[in-house]
Structure 1
Amino acid sequence: MNTSTDDCPPGRAGYRRSAGSPRGEARRRDLLDRVTDDLAANGLVDFSLRRAARAAGTTHKVLLYHFEGVDDLLKQAVLELRDRRTVNAMAAATAGPAGRALADRVRAMWPMLSGDDPGLRLLDQAIGLAMYDSDRYGWLGREASQLYLPSLVSLCPADWSDQRKFEVAEMVLGVLRGFLVEWRTSRDAAGIAAGFEALIRALEREEAAGE
């Protein structure tokens, strides 16, 4: 991936004269949506300010008016994709009658996380990028946890202690993240399905232990 800012005027990173202006924020939102759609469709490879400008139908100077450089634009687009993924997953997990078992909620949300939609693939690639260059892209993994953990905690039974909710949410996040990486790299559908069923049984036992 090329995130060079060589094609940017020096000293412009962080310019963002649009910040705080309702009209400017609306324009920024529109640009971000266009760049996010391009990133979802075409992936991280060769992402650059010029490519983002083409996708948004503007110039790199206009993007620098609204964003703090190419890394900021990439970060905002990835977070936008994560927001979309989280909304879809939580909608699936919380659908149906109140009081559904945690295992059932996790089973319902899994297809929203593991599909072959390009945007989902990109988010899993982003985790790989965080592992490849943690100094520059470690935030991709950290902020993913910050986004997903509260959602997973909210799915746990209300009568559990905060510590227990946190522990189970961490387990679910770690296991599902591992399955996603495995799916993108090996395509071992049978193995992942078997592992997922083991996770479901573990959640059923965990919930039964609290009854």
Structure 2
Amino acid sequence: MPKSKATAIDRSTSEQALQLLDAATGQVLANGLGDLSLRSMADALGTSHRMLIYYFGSADGFWQALLHRIRHAEQDARQRVIVDGMEPQAAMEAAWDRYSAPGYLPIMQLLFEIYGKAIRDRERFSGFLEDVVGSWTTMLAERFRQSMDLDEDEARLRARVEVATMRGLLLDLVTTGDREGTTAALKYFASRMAISPTSGKSST
């Protein structure tokens, strides 16, 4: 198994493998994960399941690479809306504007679909489950330490609360379509999170 993973990583860096991942990402965003059949995905991409196994080492290697590509689009989107010196409240509201945009919501809807499948099949989706919260809290905690001068424990707690709240409100938006209500709730939460834990006053 370790050998297969290494092979998948090496081959997935090839240009053709990246092109297949891009095409698969578009297919999944348009149609969902489906039955997670490598053959059906290969048919949709105009290739064979053997070629996907060649590039990614195994069926699970392909799906893990695809999910990695999709979930990190979420982080990339947040990095693009944050500028140096942006206050935490403004950064959170900018991230919400990005994630809740009609053109981006299909990615969020897909992530929620992946959550459901991963929770039911933890072994197959272990990489997704290990990274989907941890990578976010690590990135945000570092930003909180720098911008709000928090200690490590406080920064990680605030990061975890922000991740959970942002995703919860996005799930609310996807489910109910209540853009006005979810946006108001996000802005309220962002204003509360901007209060310094040491002074009790807004950091903005």
Instruction: Give the TM-score, by structure 2 length.
Output: 0.80
Structure 1 residue 127, shift from structure 2 partner? 1.8
RMSD across aligned C-alpha pairs, in angstroms?
A: 2.9
Q: CA deviation at 1:112?
A: 2.2
The equivalent residue for 1:146 is 134
Out of 16, 36, 54, the position equivalent to 2:43 is 54
- Aligned pair in 2 of structure 1 residues 184, 136: CA closer, same or farther (>3 Å)? farther
2:85 corresponds in structure 1 to: 99
Matched, 1:79 2:68: yes
Cα displacement string for residues 146-175 of structure 1 (whole angstroms, at most 9, x for unaligned residues): 222222223325122122211110110111
Are the counterparts in 2 of residues 105 and 155 from structure 1 also a CA contact under 8 Å? no
Please state if 1:176 is matched with 2:166. yes
Q: Unpaired segments of 5 or more residues in structure 1? A: 1-12
Q: Residue 90 of structure 1 contacts residue 151 of structure 1 at CA under 8 Å; is this kept in 2?
A: no
The answer on whether the counterparts of 2:53 and 2:62 sit within 8 Å (CA) in structure 1 is: no
Structure 2 gap ranges (5+): none
Amino acid across the alignment from 1:110: W
Deviation for aligned residue 1:143: 1.5
**Maintained 8 Å contact 1:131/1:138:** no
Query: What's the counterpart of residue 199 of structure 1?
Result: 189
Say which is worse superposed, 116-125 or 83-92, in terms of deviation. Answer: 116-125
Give the alignment partner of residue 156 of structure 1, picking from 144, 163, 167: 144
Farther-moved stretch of structure 1 (196-205 vs 125-134): 125-134
Cα drift, residue 205 of structure 1: 1.6
Does 2:22 correspond to 1:33? yes
Q: Residue in 2 aligned with 1:123?
A: 111
- Paired with 2:5 and 2:192, the residues of 1 have a C-alpha distance of 50
Q: CA deviation at 1:132?
A: 4.2
| Change in 2 beyond 3 A, CA 1:121/1:21 | closer
Aligned mates of 2:177, 2:119 — CA distance in 1? 20
Indicate the percent of aligned positions where both proteins have the same amino acid. 22
Q: Distance in 2 between matches of 1:126 and 1:115?
A: 20
CA contact (8 A) 2:21 2:66 kept: yes
Could you tell me how far 1:139 is from its partner in structure 2?
4.5
SS at match of 1:47: coil
Contact 1:15 1:65 in 2 (8 A): no
Asked whether the equivalents of residues 15 and 66 of structure 1 are also in contact (C-alpha less than 8 Å), the reply is no
